[in-house]
Amino acid sequence: MTDPRRRYALTQAHPGEEDRFFVEALDKTQWRPAGTGPEGDDWDTLWHVGMPPVTAFQRARDGRLVNHIPGNGALTVKSSLADHIHRTRDQLAALYGNESEPAQAMDMIPPTYCLPRDRAALEAAAAAEPGALWLLKPANSARGQGIRLLDDPRGIQPPGSPAGGWIVQRYLADPHLIDHRKYVLRLYVLIRSVAPLRVERYAQGFAKLASHAYTLDDLTDPYIHQTNPDINATNARVDDPVVFIDLEGYRARLAAEGQDADGLFRRIDRLIARAVWAARPTMDRATRAAGADPTCCYEFLGLDCLVDRDRRPWLLECNLNPSLGVFAGPADGGEQEARIKRAMVYDLVDRLGLNDPQRPHQDRPAPAGGFQPLASDIKTLAPPLPRLTPGRVDEHIDDHGLRLYDRQRQRWLQPNDTASLIWLLACDGQGLEAIVDELRELPDADSDRDTLAHTVWSTLAEWTRQGLLHPLA
């Protein structure tokens, strides 16, 4: 008799530390292991550590879920994350002004320079701030590997050539401290879909502490300046090298200091939503290019945020496949770590509707205390469009449609039919919603209104950044 249960596939044949909670959370009356690995087609859901093969994304449709989104490197590769945030900030500044709240809200990561591409800009920044400290990091690594603290990055020649190259980032030298130690907040984020964009943060998480007291008198001790548990676990000079404080305990500590914990986490949530929003176009394009259904690809990320002395949160990195192992000892938060991670994966399985095939994961309401939706649509992240007018271009409309002559570069631009309609409607003074309404009448219009709105906004913002359009005062 054929087994009617659906099938799950893992990276390896048997569950390991990173997928045991996922397998444990699946209802065994509904699920069984797949007969093939991720490269086969004998599965209904795939939980893969690292990026799966392209064939897995091609199968991500008709309700079959994959735990990654094509193009996720826009968030998880440090250099790419910086590029996407910087570009979005430039777009916002072009539309609304450099000092506007939307533009300044994108100042969420420390100044970041990719080597060797940005060497000249890095050296100029270092010369302008001779007392600043800098971090050298591999652009695409995890667990604190390869990080060095520098007092002067000029002339630095990083060793070797890691995948993705290197970045140099301004060191945030005034962190808020816990028990005299530096810490970083580990936050867990679920991107349930990029089209439509659905972003959620898990209510719990951790403050990860360094294992030596914070000081700038020693720039070489990794146990002072790094909070990664893999690094601090090697510190044999203290009894508690790895300490995790859950977010409930962290909030209580802030309250004891007279700080506004709710206000801090509202700022953190806006930061998370804006970071994902900046990366969304890249992930959306990559998902479509891979032939996947956007609603069948999701991403579970571990974000690291540093809170400075002024209680301002800074995004340091977004980690692919955040560790689900237990690092802290029982007396140093290990029991809470195991409990929270297990409960989080159970909640994740519930949010995805994996044990309830009658309720697709896109339609499931968020229960209290689990993954909570963040405001991530364009209406909440950017104000209405300003009135736009042609910038350094001349318009020509003839039998070939709209053509634009770029006076500065002395070349012709030929927008496609959709881009031409966006241009003409924007220059006619139409707002974002009105332009979206017109585009939805086109035969091949995107069915998701939020995605179409983001496409219109990002197209106009990029044209404005390039000087092709100009916002009127």
Residue 468 tokens read as: 């092709």
**pLDDT, tens digit, for every residue of 266-283?**
999 999 999 999 999 999
| Cα 314 to Cα 305: distance, rounded to the nearest angstrom | 5
Neighbouring C-beta atoms of residue 115, cutoff 10 Å: 18
Q: Is 354 exposed, middle or buried (0-12, 13-18, 19+ CB in 10 A)?
A: buried
Going by their DSSP bridges, the two strands 469-471 and 299-307 should be labelled as unpaired
Assign domain 384-471 to its CATH architecture: Alpha-Beta Complex (3.90)
- Reference 231, options 242, 244, 219, 245; nearest CA is 242
Which residue stretches of the chain have pLDDT < 50?
A: none
Report the helix count and the strand count for the chain, using DSSP H and E. Answer: 15, 20
Q: Where are the alpha helices (DSSP H) in 26-138?
A: 54-58, 73-76, 78-96, 101-105, 119-128
| Residue 280 CB partners (closer than 8 Å, separation 6+) | 194, 197, 454
- Reference 318, options 264, 375, 278; nearest CA is 278
**According to the model, what pLDDT value does residue 388 have?**
96
**According to the model, what pLDDT value does residue 17 have?**
82
| Cα 127 to Cα 17: distance, rounded to the nearest angstrom | 46
Q: Which amino acid is at 368?
A: A
**pLDDT, tens digit, for every residue of 125-144?**
999 998 899 999 887 665 55
Strand residues in 125-249 grouped as ranges (E): 134-138, 148-150, 166-170, 177-178, 181-194, 197-209, 243-246
What is the DSSP secondary-structure string of 223-249?
HHH---HHHHTT-TTSS-S-EEEEHHH
| Cα 47 to Cα 298: distance, rounded to the nearest angstrom | 10
Residue 234 tokens read as: 């090697």
Sign of the torsion angle spanned by Cα atoms 385, 386, 388, 392: negative
**According to the model, what pLDDT value does residue 140 have?**
67
- What is the reported pTM? 0.92
Q: How many residues would you count in the chain?
A: 473
The CA–CA distances, whole Å, from 387 to 66, 259, 430, 439, 440 equal 41, 41, 8, 19, 22
Cβ proximity of 73 and 442 under 8 Å = no
**According to the model, what pLDDT value does residue 350 have?**
93
